[in-house]
Chains A and B, each alone.
Chain A
Amino acid sequence: MSNLVQRFLSWWHTRKLDQRPVPKEDPIAKSSLATVTAVFSLLLILTLVWALYDEIWGLRPWITYQRDFVENYREVLIDLKPRRGEEVQAIQALPGYQELRQGVEEAETEIAPELAEIEAEERLVRLELAAISKTFTTERSRLQAAIYLLETAGDAQKEGLETELEVLREGPYLLEIPDADGNIEANEYTYEQMEEKFNSLKSRQGELQGDKVELLREPTRRRRELDAYLNARLTSLTETQVDGLLSGLDNSRIEIKQIHNPELGLVDRCESCHAGTREPVLLTAEAMGGKRVFTSHPHPELLQIHDPETFGCTPCHNGNGVATVGTTEAHGQYKHWLWPLYPSENIEAGCLQCHEADRYLEISPTLDAGKQIFNEGCIGCHAREGFDPESQQLRETQRSLTDLLTRKTETQLQIERTIGTADRAQTNEEAERLYAEADALTMNIAGIDTEFAHLQAREAGLMMAFKRVGPNLKEVRVKLKKEWIPDWIQNPHDFRPTTKMPRFRLEEDQVRAISAFIWQSGIEAELPRQPSGDPVQGKTLFETRGCMACHSMGEGEEATGGTFAANLSRVGEKANYDYLVRWIHDPKQRTLPYCPIHEREITPEDYASQGLPFEFDLEHNHCPLGDHLLQVQQPTVMPNLRLTPEEARDIASYLMTRAHEDAEYAPAPYLDDPDLREEGRSLVQNFGCASCHEISGFENEGKLGTDLTKEGSKPIERLDFGLLTSQAKHDGWYDQKGFFQRKLENPEIFDEGKSKEPLERLKMPNFDLSPEEITQLTTFLLGSVDSKFPETAFYQPSDQRKEIQKGWWLVRKYNCVACHQFTPAQEATVLEELPLYQDPDWREQLPPSLVGEGARVDPNWLARFLKNPALEENNLNRNGVRSYLEARMPTFDLSDEETQQLVRFFSALSKQSIPYTAPALQPLSSRELTLARELFTHTAAPCLKCHATGDLVTDPDATAPNFLLIPGRLKPDWTERWIVHPEIIRPGTNMPSGLFRQEGQRWVFAPADLPSLRGYDQDHAKLMVRYMFQYSPAEQRRLTGR
């Protein structure tokens, strides 16, 4: 050891070149570089080998993958065969199969003798042909060549050639033709005879083949039926198919498998490793040796809709489709690929870029929920294309209206000026010209007026459709108990854990200031005092009128009811009884109307100053102080349940009992402190309360937050991770998903560690979202991208399917899905799951399913119904169609456009064409009328036993819709299908089936064979339909005496 050290030291000390010991021999001439060269040559060879390895396998992992896949798949298929065999045998044992097989065998036996004959003859003909073909065809060519020579020869040779031709024609040719017994007959034939024989044999052959086909037609058809029977029942593949797959594997080449769609600029090589995605056999990870890469696509039905050859993989999954060198690269999970594979919980984000217009897709519940949450709350502060279009449209319309008014005033001024100039004109001509000009301008005004009226109608509709996320805070003085307000603002989730209202990060003095401002800016009014109601009755009403489809009652685990609207467990602590009664009776009622032009509430004094009575509603929506429209309704989606004032009082009384006994609220005298008002005002502006609420002075506030339309495409550099940037990079959440998730969990997280002024801190409040909600919203945001695909690739149908897309937005906006089903595959409604409706007696009280509603009802009637479901003006406290249901179909106060959209939605879902004109039904002859009445009143078809008729005495016991509504409400062809097979249209319905049976081409009344009907040879069902469609109260009185 010390020897080495000494040698090292002596080397170190004699580093100087010229002090080193002089070598004996010439160092350059005698030095041998052999060792060094050998070493490095070896290294070179090794690096070459390494490079080759890298090139062949290292950079091409898909080679190994595909080899593994083929091995494992082969095993799976081989395992499958016996099981398939068993399945095939099981099906073959079924009676249906046996029957068909018998049929096949019968048919085949029947034709067997004839078939044998034909085949025998065929064989003979074939043998004969074989015998003569060669000779004949040879001689034919020889002859034809000779004929050609003759035709093209000069005259001199013609004679000689003709003789030769004759010789050929004569022959004779010896043919040995077998006959039926197998003997061979040798005969001599001339050429013509030979030709004739040949042709006749050929034609005979054709005939025989034709006969054979004819003969086999029936057996072939039966055999095909047999195979179809088997294939229809096989869950997947037959043995032959499996064999086919196996031989496919044997012939498979190991190569890059690529999907290329030049229109979309798509190159996806995912299947080079994910080889099992589209295989017809279900492949699981266990079956494939534990390798998840080879599993089948979990949703083959999606692949049916989105053909992978067109769509590839990356539009839905993201990732780097072209990469093949490794998993990280192919999945795009490295720094430079900005579109990494979506994690499995966010996979539905990929749907969004094409399905922006869709609000409901069965296959993407996470995305749908994300859209729902976004629309319920986030849209208040964050603009996003496609969401909340009404607010912008309303603003634009109002702006256009103001412009029009300005133009009108200017034009009027100009008219006056022109007329003035005309009056002072020097010459007649000039005066006339100017007067004509004034006339033309007057016509302009007429045009402006028309446009104005048109726009104002649109504005009215938009005002009806425009809704705000949160309640109207101008009403706080009449609505709330004042001490409750600061408590609520401090932390809404303490009072109501499921509320949409978020928790702002406010100091106590800020809360006081805000509360003071809100309180002082509220409308001061005296509501009419309401007598108290019956809380017990109120509870029953609350639970049966349908309130619980949107609202829930009960706290924590015990909450039942819908989550679309507020949980009302503690509403008694906050509410003013009189206001509650008014609200429940008509939620859209405002204390004072709001004028967007004057930007204030219009008071009774304003009305009085113009000599107008103080009334405002949808019919009386003009501002007394000018020609513009007022906001006459509360911008809430809560509909009007058409309750009597008594019912409203009962429910309100019940709700006022819902409170915590021990809840205490500190007195809040500061709410009236005028000094706090200004501070509160600036805080309200800073925190953007008016983005969700209607607040005095802030009606036109814009949206405070970022536009999230393309948030998923935001470059990571533009997302501010604050001081957590390096930690995020280190811990692996420095990407869009990491940002969104953590921000939603705790919106102030990226302020951590920063010293900022309180008002400069991040403003987004905390919503206390659950982890599922965060995943849903993250999925939605990740999918909100600036798509790199052309718009033609998006799902933007221009036909009826667009109406379906638009309709779902409305249906989700007003929460129709809480009570009704629209498609068979929809999840259960809220009411269906309520404890009340689990009782079999109450099951019938469920609101009707709307699957197929477009096929069932006249769309014009539907529009009228949606406008007023009571279907009459006087007694509104009822359901117009099903008066026996406790649950109330509310009046939603939809704008005309929304109503029409819903009607188109239903029509599109049932693929009905619009516009619909009711077909004219032939009136009944007197004979037909008698027959129809007989059928109608027959005991086997007691229609009026279940159907309501508008008779207030019997209707409460009815269980089916009002019969008298049929003309005008239903469509005749649907009605016909309904009375014949109601169980197909609505499985589980109480409407009896089997009322009609088929006799030949027509339907006849099944339960009884009425003698009077024997002579009637028309369709009974059509007769009934025609009768029902002319059913009237007069007919009703005639039949029942009432």
Chain B
Amino acid sequence: MDWGQLWEITSAPDNVPIVAMLFLVPFFTWYGFRQALANDRLIDRLEKDPELAKTHHRKVEPYREGWAQKLYVWPHLLRVEFLAAIIVTVILMIWSITLNAPLEEPANPNLTMNPAKAPWYFLGLQEMLVYFDPWIAGVVMPTFILIGLIIIPYVDTNPLGNGYYTYRQRKFAILTFLFGFFVLWLSMVFIGTFIRGPGWMWFWPGQTWDHHRLVFEVNRDLHEIFGIVSQPWVGLFGAAAVGLYFVVFGWLTHKLFVWNDFNRKIYHQMTLVQYLTLLSFLLVMWALPLKIILRLLFRIKNVMVTPWFNI
């Protein structure tokens, strides 16, 4: 266990925010979930007690006599905001005094850093490059991410859950989002920051970043395993594999989606276009962890190989 190496990585000024993320993200997730679950319990009570449901409610509990129904921004909101501002300022001051901006050596175009890492917001994409080819990882998937985020309001036909935390009423949305955020985004960032070392090799935390390390990571394409080597069979095989993926996983996802009654209601509310759009985006999302498993465990690099792009 090389503590020195661990310290070197976690204390690098560039990585300090990611370390902070490791604590803040679980905290806020827990915080939200606590609220959501308490709200769910309230919903339960209210569903059983219609009289109570008609009264005013405050956060996780019903309203009490004498409590304010409305509060003014000043002083109540602004007070809190002011305190928040002070706290943030204190944190910023301490951070800027103790951690200096990393002014490194003068740029030398003849000497590339190893590893040469993108800033954290692109580390996810850089990590994806391990699993997908640059066209897919750098253009297609980011486009899907953006468009996917944009179309959320258009495919989200669940009217519940506006303005309050709830888990039960928004299971699908929450789980999909958490999947996309934690697995597809944060874990990639984490891997890119802490796990990937020289040569973009996999180093567990505490393993020394040895530049001379040699690993066996000879990758092959899916068609090579099946012995298909000449075009156009290769391309056709790949297209078939991808098609198979969409069909099989599409069916599985559908089954998952209509698992419980609540979701089935939502399903019946959606139009075909909405549903198909949602499904295709979900399937693209699923592709990433699938490719990760294929690559890391089975050393399979590409499923579909064409002269123009690979998947």
Contacts and interface: CB of A to CB of B under 8 A. Distances in A.
Contact of A717 (B34, B66, B106, B114): B114
Interface string A705-723: 0000000000101000011
A725 interface: yes
A26 B102 CA distance: 48
Interface stretch (B81-89, B149-157, B178-186, B289-297): B81-89
A333 to B, nearest CB: 13
A44 B88 CA distance: 10
A726 B208 contact: yes
A725 B210 contact: yes
Contact of B97 (A37, A51, A722): A51
Interface string B68-83: 1001000010011011
B76 A28 contact: yes
Chain A CB count within 10 A is highest, among B60, B71, B76, B90, for B90
Given A336-B105, A717-B111, A44 B89 contact: yes
Interface stretch (A14-22, A158-166, A831-839): A14-22
A337 B210 contact: no
Nearest to B102: A336
A328 to B, nearest CB: 12
Interface string A19-41: 00010011011000100110011
B260 interface: no
A43 B89 CA distance: 10
Interface in B78-116: 79-80, 82-83, 86-87, 89-90, 93-94, 96-97, 102-106, 108, 111, 114
Interface string B52-72: 000000011100101110010
Q: In the complex, which range does the number of interface residues on chain A fall in?
A: 20 to 34
Main secondary structure of the interface of A (DSSP, over half): helix
Given A337-B105, A338-B105, A17 B90 contact: no
Interface string B183-214: 00000000000000000000000001011100
A319 to B, nearest CB: 14
Interface in A670-729: 715, 717, 722-723, 725-726
Contacts of A337: 105
A37 B83 contact: yes
A1014 interface: no
B42 interface: yes
A33 B64 contact: no
Interface in A721-756: 722-723, 725-726, 730
Contacts of B93: 44, 47-48, 50-51
B68 A40 contact: no
Given A37-B83, A43-B90, A29 B71 contact: yes
A26 B65 CA distance: 9
A54 interface: yes
B66 A715 contact: no
A28 B212 contact: no
Nearest to A25: B66
B35 interface: yes
Contacts of A22: 61, 64
Contact of B104 (A25, A36, A336, A723): A336
B117 interface: no
Contacts of A37: 79, 82-83, 86
Nearest to B2: A726
B108 A715 contact: yes
Given A47-B94, A336-B104, A337-B105, A726 B111 contact: no
Contact of B79 (A18, A33, A54, A338): A33
Contacts of A25: 66
B307 to A, nearest CB: 37
A29 B68 contact: yes
B207 to A, nearest CB: 11
B66 A47 contact: no
B41 interface: yes
Contacts of A48: 93
A1022 to B, nearest CB: 66
A54 B97 contact: yes
Contacts of A26: 64, 66-68
B4 interface: yes
Contacts of B60: 17-18
B83 A40 contact: yes
Nearest to A37: B83
B64 A18 contact: no
A48 B2 CA distance: 37
Given A336-B103, A725-B212, A726-B208, A44 B86 contact: yes
A338 B104 CA distance: 10
Interface string B32-52: 001101100110000000000
Given A715-B108, A717-B114, A16 B211 contact: no
Interface in A805-830: none
Contacts of A18: 38, 41-42, 60-61
A337 B105 CA distance: 6
A178 B192 CA distance: 101
Nearest to A40: B86
A726 B209 CA distance: 9
A722 B212 contact: yes
Interface in A327-385: 336-338
Nearest to B5: A726
Contact of A16 (B4, B38, B111): B38
A41 B93 CA distance: 13
Contacts of A33: 79-80, 83
Given A47-B93, A717-B114, A41 B86 contact: yes
Contacts of A15: 34
Interface string A50-83: 1100100000000000000000000000000000
Nearest to B68: A29
A424 B262 CA distance: 109
Contacts of B67: 26, 29
B90 to A, nearest CB: 5
Given A22-B64, A50-B97, A29 B76 contact: yes
A25 B42 CA distance: 20
B211 A725 contact: yes
Given A26-B66, A29-B76, A44-B86, A715 B111 contact: yes
A17 B106 CA distance: 54
Contacts of A43: 90
B95 to A, nearest CB: 10
A43 B91 CA distance: 10
A40 B90 contact: yes
A51 B89 CA distance: 12
B210 A726 contact: yes
Contact of B34 (A17, A36, A715, A730): A17
Contacts of B68: 26, 28-29
A29 B63 CA distance: 14
Interface string A265-283: 0000000000000000000
Contacts of A54: 97
Contacts of A722: 212
A305 B163 CA distance: 79
Contacts of B87: 40
Contacts of A41: 86
Contacts of A16: 34, 37-38, 41
Contacts of B59: 17
A60 to B, nearest CB: 14
A359 B105 CA distance: 33
Contacts of B79: 33, 37
A153 to B, nearest CB: 79
A41 B76 CA distance: 18
The 4 closest A-B pairs by CB, nearest first: A17-B38, A47-B93, A26-B67, A336-B104
6 contacts: A18-B41, A28-B76, A37-B86, A44-B93, A50-B97, A51-B97
Given A28-B71, A51-B96, A726-B210, 14 more contacts: A16-B37, A16-B41, A17-B38, A17-B60, A22-B64, A26-B68, A29-B76, A37-B86, A43-B90, A44-B93, A50-B93, A50-B97, A336-B102, A336-B103
